[in-house]
């Protein structure tokens, strides 16, 4: 079962890839260490609100949009798991 950290990280990765950016690009724009971004994207880090907001701003979206995408990923995953 996946949790919100995983889903938030996936939402960050999806938004980053939509821009055609690497983790290094996002790191540069957000002023967040690339290694930390990697841990966020894999769900192994639990970023605080300030970091979440910096990521959203760097990605050109609101924090609300980023969290909404994460929640949608959780729902999709739960639906897929319930069909198994």
Kindly report the CATH number assigned to the domain that includes residue 51: 1.10.260.40
Per-residue pLDDT of 31-78, as tens digits, reads 999 999 999 999 999 999 999 999 999 999 999 999 999 999 999 998
What's the pLDDT score for residue 1?
A: 57
Look at the chain and report how many structural domains it folds into: 1
Domain extent, residue 39, equals 4-82
Determine contact, residues 41/23, Cβ cutoff 8 Å: yes
How much is the pTM? 0.92
Nearest to 60 by CA among 24, 22, 23, 12: 12
Determine contact, residues 55/30, Cβ cutoff 8 Å: yes
């Amino acid at each position: 079962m996946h949790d919100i950290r995983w889903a938030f990280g996936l939402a960050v990765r999806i938004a980053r890839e939509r821009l055609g950016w690497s983790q290094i690009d996002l790191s540069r724009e957000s002023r967040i260490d690339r290694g930390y971004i990697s841990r966020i994207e894999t769900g192994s880090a639990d970023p605080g609100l300030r970091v979440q907001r910096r990521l959203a701003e760097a990605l050109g979206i609101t924090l609300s949009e980023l969290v909404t995408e994460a929640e949608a990923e959780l729902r999709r995953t739960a639906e897929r798991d319930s069909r198994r």
